[in-house]
């Protein structure tokens, strides 16, 4: 089985920033986030599956995902993304 590793980078008020690294061929099964997220491709290549659409994940790709939207990830090569969970931001 190919691994997916999760590392929390920071958690300033209202946010949680996580790095996900995938081995070649790794998959993250369909799931939902309870908050809105922003996904940024850092390295490698893969696919983000959401709402019946496939979005390319590669360095510089940016995706915005509303809370409670089912999504999955497939890594074509080793893949690294940063996910920013956006909770209530302070005013």
15-63 confidence digits (pLDDT tens): 999 999 999 999 999 999 999 999 999 999 999 999 999 999 999 999 9
Which string of DSSP letters, residue by residue, matches 11-36?
--TTEEEEEEEE-TT-EEEEE--SSE
Band of residue 88 on the pLDDT scale cut at 50, 70, 90: confident
CA gap 14, 89 in Å, rounded: 5
């Amino acid at each position: 089985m190919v691994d997916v590793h999760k590392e929390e980078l920071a958690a300033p008020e209202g946010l949680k920033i996580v790095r996900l690294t995938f081995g070649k061929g790794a998959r993250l099964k369909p799931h939902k986030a309870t908050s809105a997220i922003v996904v940024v491709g850092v390295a490698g290549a893969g696919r983000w599956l959401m709402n019946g659409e496939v979005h390319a994940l590669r360095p510089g790709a940016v995706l915005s995902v509303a809370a409670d939207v089912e999504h999955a990830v497939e890594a074509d090569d080793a893949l690294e993304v940063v996910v920013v969970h956006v909770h209530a931001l302070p005013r």
